[in-house]
Amino acid sequence: MILDMFIFQDAPARRSENGLHGLLNVGFLAVVIFRLSQVAGKRVPLLGSVVKQINHVVTGADLAWEVSVGPGFMLYHPTGVVMGRRVKAGANLKVQSSVTISEAPRGQETVLGNNVRLGAGCRIIKPLSLADDVSVGANAVVTKSCERPEAVLVGIPAHELSA
């Protein structure tokens, strides 16, 4: 029951995009270990941190167990992906390689809506919020919230592309 809820909730998204091969790659493994770290961390925080470190060593993804991500989470290339504590993301978060979402200070959080896509190397470096269906381009540095659904953010600092 717990495995269904915490691990396999992400499998349908992975399977639908890449067939069976999608279940056997390192990105899916990183998500499975992340979900295990969440389960362990809620019971024994130190154990959650240990499982998080195993994920970092095995897959290259540094995902704090305290991060909240909805179902359908996909890491296409987990190497170099960093997500600090106090990050809350909706369903179907899609993340490319070397993405950093910095840890928010106590009392604040970074909130990502549903169906957010984060391009390779992008950075989210302040507590902020992104609306549903926002796409962040490769190597963009996001420093301000974007409340417009379906926006595309690019550049350093990131700005919205004109429609």
Name the residue ranges covered by the structural domains of the chain.
1-160
Place of tokens 């350093």: 156
pLDDT of residue 104: 87
% of the chain at pLDDT higher than 70: 84
| C-beta atoms surrounding 70 within 10 Å | 17
pTM value?
A: 0.84
- Rounded average pLDDT over 86-93: 96
Is residue 112 a contact partner of residue 87, using CB atoms and an 8 Å limit?
yes
pLDDT of residue 20: 60
| C-beta atoms surrounding 43 within 10 Å | 8
Is residue 22 a contact partner of residue 28, using CB atoms and an 8 Å limit?
yes
- Convert the pLDDT of each residue in 104-116 to its tens digit: 889 999 999 999 9
pLDDT of residue 25: 85
2 pLDDT more than 70: no
Average pLDDT across the chain, whole number? 89
Compare 1 and 126 and report the one with higher pLDDT.
126
Q: With CA atoms as reference, report the closest residue to 96 among 111, 74, 114, 115.
A: 74
- Convert the pLDDT of each residue in 8-65 to its tens digit: 555 555 555 555 655 568 999 999 999 999 999 999 999 999 999 999 999 999 999 9
Q: What is the CATH number of domain 1-160?
A: 2.160.10.10
Compare 20 and 133 and report the one with higher pLDDT.
133
- Reported as a pLDDT band with limits 50, 70 and 90, residue 3 is very low
Place of tokens 């091969």: 21
Q: With CA atoms as reference, report the closest residue to 156 among 135, 140, 137, 138.
A: 140
In a 13 Å sphere around the CA of 76, the CA atoms on its Cβ side amount to 15
Structure tokens at 160: 């919205």
